[in-house]
């Protein structure tokens, strides 16, 4: 197998994170290219209309850090979109932890992927039911999600997936992790790995350091007031996607499992629903 291109997104000021990731990637035998992360709204010209107005203001309710994070990933996608369609690249943020066996795990993952894959999530522990579709020699399984978890810490993507994501509507009004949870809006064929081989968010969020996103407030406004729900139309698009992706029978079983787990979690209280093994549906 040809060497796997690895792109590491890192702010110039975060030299300690760069050193941390450099050491881990060296131990794993994975050479990488550093992609300078975008700070705030200093977007390259070709990417500005994805997130900014014509006058350079943020075209949504996103914070500056969220805009910079989104644009940093778009830089990588734009870079690879015209490459050979069978190319796979590894995209990493700089707050991750993984073992020295990552390269061999990635090789096995790539060997199991269906031909239609666009993106594979590597740092996303699910909070909803998932369906295993291929086992591997180690502890990992290739899975499909009933509800894609957020987090953009680490993922594999190919040029086809990058081009699909770039071709979506503009301007983008959600954070990138929220958009990548909605593959039906971009035509993305999404897979994941369980258990995730990479742990993310091991450092304080750079986005939170730039601006307070209000994530720690106890009282949150209703989703209908914050634009974080698509309403009936979005729900129907998600249902159509999941039925096509999982098949009607598995989709229904996942739906019932998610509902029953939500009921149990509410009865027990938040924080007492940590056992993820029950999310596996066959």
Q: What share of the chain is helix, strand, coil (3-state, %, to 5)?
A: 40, 15, 45
CA distance 274 to 257: 15
pLDDT digits (tens, 9 = 90+) for 170-228: 999 999 999 999 999 999 999 999 999 999 999 987 665 556 545 444 444 444 433 44
Structure confidence at residue 212 (pLDDT): 54
Strands (E), the chain: 6-10, 33-36, 89-92, 119-121, 130-135, 141-145, 154-157, 190-194
**Which parts of the chain sit beneath pLDDT 50?**
213, 215-228, 272-274
DSSP label at residue 54: T
Give pTM, 2 decimals. 0.89
Structure confidence at residue 131 (pLDDT): 96
pLDDT digits (tens, 9 = 90+) for 149-170: 999 999 999 999 999 999 999 9
CA distance 16 to 52: 30
Q: Residue 215: phi, psi to the nearest 5?
A: -70, -15
Q: What is the CATH number of domain 6-279?
A: 3.90.550
Structure confidence at residue 2 (pLDDT): 64
Structure confidence at residue 249 (pLDDT): 96
């Amino acid at each position: 197998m040809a060497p796997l291109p690895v792109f590491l997104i890192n702010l110039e000021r975060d030299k300690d994170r760069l050193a941390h990731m450099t050491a881990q990637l060296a131990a794993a035998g994975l050479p990488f290219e550093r992609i300078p992360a975008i700070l705030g709204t200093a977007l390259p010209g070709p990417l500005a209309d994805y997130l900014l107005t014509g006058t350079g203001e943020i075209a949504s309710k996103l914070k500056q850090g969220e805009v910079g994070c989104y644009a940093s990933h778009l830089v990588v996608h734009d870079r690879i979109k015209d490459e050979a369609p069978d190319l796979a690249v590894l995209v990493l943020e700089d707050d991750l932890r993984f073992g020295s066996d990552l390269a061999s795990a990635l090789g096995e993952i790539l060997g199991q992927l269906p031909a239609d894959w666009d993106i594979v999530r590597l740092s996303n522990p699910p909070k909803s039911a998932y369906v295993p579709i291929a086992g591997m020699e180690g502890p990992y399984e290739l899975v499909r999600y009933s509800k894609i978890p957020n987090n953009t810490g680490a993922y594999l993507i190919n040029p086809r997936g990058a081009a699909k994501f770039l071709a979506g509507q503009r301007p983008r009004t959600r954070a990138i992790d929220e958009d990548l949870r909605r593959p039906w809006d971009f035509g993305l064929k999404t897979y994941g790995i369980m258990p995730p081989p990479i742990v993310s968010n091991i450092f304080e969020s750079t986005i939170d350091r730039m601006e307070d996103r209000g994530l720690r407030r106890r009282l949150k406004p209703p989703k209908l007031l914050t634009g974080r729900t698509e309403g009936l139309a979005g729900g129907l698009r998600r249902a159509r996607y999941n039925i096509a992706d999982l098949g009607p029978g598995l989709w229904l079983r996942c739906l019932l499992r998610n509902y029953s787990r939500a009921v149990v979690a509410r009865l027990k209280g938040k924080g007492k629903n940590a056992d993820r093994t029950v999310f596996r549906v066959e």
